[in-house]
Amino acid sequence: MHLTVTGKQTDTGDALRRHVEASLGSILEKYFKTAIEAHVVFSKEAHMSRAEISLHIGRGIVVNAGAATVDTYTAYDAAAERIAKQLRRYKRRLRDHHAKAREPAEVSERARDYVLAPIAEEPEEEEDAGGGPTVVAEMSTELPNLTVSEAVMRMDLADAQVLLFRSRSHGELNLVYRRADGNIGWIDPELDPTRRTRRREG
């Protein structure tokens, strides 16, 4: 596994890197031995130390976790525990995914992923100039072909708020997202009976 350890306004010496290597090695030995790469970033948040771990464990599977405490080592340990918890929760399904990954790869669909600057509030009397929001960053992202349960697993592992995917059952674009009440929302246009009616009439 290729490991990178970097610090933003934080010193990452040999002792910290050895701690990270030993910890991730122990977690992966227990749950998922064939990880491809890992990135660990340490940074400062006011008086707190923050650790962010990103673990690429297979085709299309990324596990992310982060934590902030008063100490660099305890911040990392807390983030690593979250990684272990996520892998433990999905251990069987990840092993099934790993077995499927040995099969010929499907042609993956790509989409553009944009980061937009927040829209500043303007006086009501000003008319809209017609310009769109400012694009801060643009990248290419995979649009995977998944079942709903697989999409929820990937969103959870990536510690993401939303995941867009193409439904394996009917090929439509679907969306899963985290609701404010802690549940998972699922948007599936194929389930809209008016949409199906319009298709038949067309």
Give bridge partners of residue 173 from the DSSP assignment: 166
Residue 76 CB contacts under 8 Å (≥ 6 apart), including other chains: 16, 19, 20, 23, 40, 42, 51, 53, 67
What gap in Å lies between CA 183 and CA 199, rounded to an integer? 31
Q: Alpha carbon of 166 to those of 41, 89, 99: distances in Å? A: 32, 24, 21
pLDDT (tens digit, 9 = 90+) per residue, 66-90? Answer: 999 999 999 999 999 999 999 998 8
Contacts for 46-52: CB closer than 8 Å, 24+ residues apart:
48/75, 49/10, 49/75, 50/75, 51/75, 51/76, 51/78, 51/79, 52/79
> What are the b/e assignments for 113-139, b being 16+ CB within 10 Å?
eeeeeeeeeeeeeeeeeeeeeeeeeee
pTM here is 0.72
- Architecture label for domain 106-120+132-201: 2-Layer Sandwich (3.30)
**Domains 2-100 and 106-120+132-201 are alike in CATH topology:** no
- Domain 2-100 top-level CATH class: alpha beta
pLDDT (tens digit, 9 = 90+) per residue, 101-120? Answer: 544 455 567 777 777 777 76
pLDDT (tens digit, 9 = 90+) per residue, 2-56? Answer: 999 999 988 888 999 999 999 999 999 888 777 889 999 999 988 899 999 999 9
Q: Where are the domains of the chain?
A: 2-100, 106-120+132-201
